[in-house]
């Protein structure tokens, strides 16, 4: 097995290219996204022109080969982009996260040459993607799918409903999982590339959420949705394998989002305690506050190293599923604690929308839920340990 130390730089070391990329995303997030964050959160609507700017900056094709209009980069670059966007707005980060780590990733791993030629030039320029696995009765039990796929002349008909679909309101392409042979259980599941305009496909209600409110989360309705054979993703009956392996990379992206949210909250709290005065001096001069800041900084650095390590392992072609689960689990826990503590450092103002602490707190909670709850991550880690 290749030694990771020879396969990639030290975890905390960024190459010049990586540093320049990170700094460019940080500047975009700070100058173009930040001025709209509060308004987008209150309206529960992401600005369409910002989505287009994200495409223009090349952030929607980070791992896609250059021949298809992508950057030909790595999951590590995607992690840097997601982290920097989440420091400012978790909703912006999840648009980039889902599109890269789930949709593009699935097509890279399982798409035919024809599918890649057909879709990647659009997925890197203006076509937003979504990943449709969850259903009303299948959350953690992801393969208890009720959506059915029936063969027809030259294709398939999909019938069912999908819930909690990130990017659903704006996406034009969906990776949809349906069971074509229920008698085989999860081995009957097949993945399909579904375009929004396919007959029988519709986007349903949009969820009114606690956090990441500017990110759309919708229901999908499939009523005998006609999908051609050319849009079957991977082998028939291998949808369960496609979903599992795609979500492994997706969890690295969620980890990056969570360390970004935690870092953004900590930066805001650190600036505030330097300005806020109590008992005749800045709050930051109190040792109790200093210790809280030090502990949160340490926790975030540990979470960041776990996320970066999982990304480096994936890029080096090493097994990374357990490391991705640990990174997602720990980073979501750290983000939950950090944003809660930072809110308290703002005192009463932390509970007010006048300051950003309450939004970071709301945005962090989803990290313990989507792309596998914390209990599901623990199960993955335990299975690896006991194998």
**Domain topology for 4-127:** Butyryl-Coa Dehydrogenase, subunit A; domain 1 (1.10.540)
Residue with tokens 């599992």: 244
pLDDT score recorded for residue 11:
56
* Domain residue limits, the chain: 4-127, 130-237, 241-386
- Alpha carbons 202 and 219: distance in angstroms, whole number: 9
Please give the class, per CATH, of domain 130-237.
Answer: mainly beta
pLDDT score recorded for residue 12:
61
Note the pLDDT tens digit of each residue in 88-115.
Answer: 999 999 999 999 999 999 999 999 999 9
- Please indicate whether residue 12 or residue 91 has the higher confidence score (pLDDT): 91
CATH superfamily of 241-386: Butyryl-CoA Dehydrogenase, subunit A, domain 3 (1.20.140.10)
Which has the closest alpha carbon to 33: 99, 80, 123, 95? 95
Tokens read off for 79? 């992690």
- Alpha carbons 157 and 159: distance in angstroms, whole number: 7
User: Is 275 an annotated catalytic residue?
Assistant: no
pLDDT score recorded for residue 139:
78
Which helix or strand (DSSP H or E) is residue 275 part of? Answer: helix 239-275
Question: Phi/psi of residue 222, each to 5°?
Answer: -115, 115
Q: Collapsing DSSP states into helix, strand and coil, what is residue 171?
A: coil
pTM: predicted TM-score of the whole model, two decimal places: 0.95
Q: Which of 83, 84, 135, 371 is catalytic?
A: 371
Note the pLDDT tens digit of each residue in 224-283.
Answer: 999 999 999 999 999 999 999 999 999 999 999 999 999 999 999 999 999 999 999 999
C-alpha dist (Å) from residue 237 to 181, 184, 301: 8, 9, 41
Q: With a cut of 50, say whether residue 325 has pLDDT above it.
A: yes
Note the pLDDT tens digit of each residue in 187-237.
Answer: 999 999 999 999 999 999 999 999 999 999 999 999 999 999 999 999 999
């Amino acid at each position: 097995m290749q030694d990771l130390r020879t396969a990639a730089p030290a975890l905390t070391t960024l190459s010049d290219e990586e540093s320049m990329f990170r700094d460019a995303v940080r500047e975009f997030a700070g100058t173009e996204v930040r001025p709209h964050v509060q308004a987008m959160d209150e309206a529960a609507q992401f600005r369409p022109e910002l989505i287009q700017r994200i495409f223009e900056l090349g952030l929607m094709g980070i791992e896609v080969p250059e021949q298809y209009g992508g950057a030909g980069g790595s999951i590590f670059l995607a992690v840097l982009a997601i982290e920097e966007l989440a420091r400012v707005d978790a909703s912006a980060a999840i648009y980039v996260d889902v599109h890269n780590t789930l949709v593009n990733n699935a097509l890279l791993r399982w798409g035919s040459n024809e599918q890649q030629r057909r879709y990647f030039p659009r997925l890197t320029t203006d076509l937003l993607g979504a990943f449709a696995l969850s259903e009303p009765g299948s959350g953690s039990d992801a393969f208890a799918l009720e959506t059915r796929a029936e063969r027809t002349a030259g294709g398939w008909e999909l019938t069912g409903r999908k819930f909690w679909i990130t990017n659903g309101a704006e996406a034009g392409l969906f990776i949809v999982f349906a069971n074509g042979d229920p008698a085989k259980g999860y081995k009957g599941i097949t993945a399909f590339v579904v375009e929004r305009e396919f007959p029988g496909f519709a986007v349903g209600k949009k969820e009114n959420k606690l956090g990441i409110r500017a990110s759309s989360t919708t229901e999908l309705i499939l009523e005998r949705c006609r999908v051609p054979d050319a849009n079957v993703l991977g082998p028939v009956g291998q949808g369960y394998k496609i979903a599992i392996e795609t979500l492994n990379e997706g969890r690295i992206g969620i980890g990056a989002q969570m360390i970004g949210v935690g870092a953004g909250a900590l930066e805001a709290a650190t600036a505030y305690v330097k300005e806020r005065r109590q008992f005749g001096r800045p709050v930051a001069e109190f040792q109790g506050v200093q210790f809280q800041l030090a502990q949160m900084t340490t926790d975030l650095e540990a979470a960041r190293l776990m996320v970066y390590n999982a990304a480096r392992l994936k890029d080096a072609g090493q097994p990374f599923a357990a490391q991705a689960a640990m990174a997602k689990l720990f980073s979501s826990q750290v983000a939950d604690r950090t944003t809660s503590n930072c809110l308290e450092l703002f005192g009463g103002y932390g509970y007010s929308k006048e300051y950003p602490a309450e939004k970071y707190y709301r945005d962090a909670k989803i990290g313990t839920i989507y792309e596998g709850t914390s209990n599901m991550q623990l199960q993955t880690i335990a299975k690896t340990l006991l194998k």
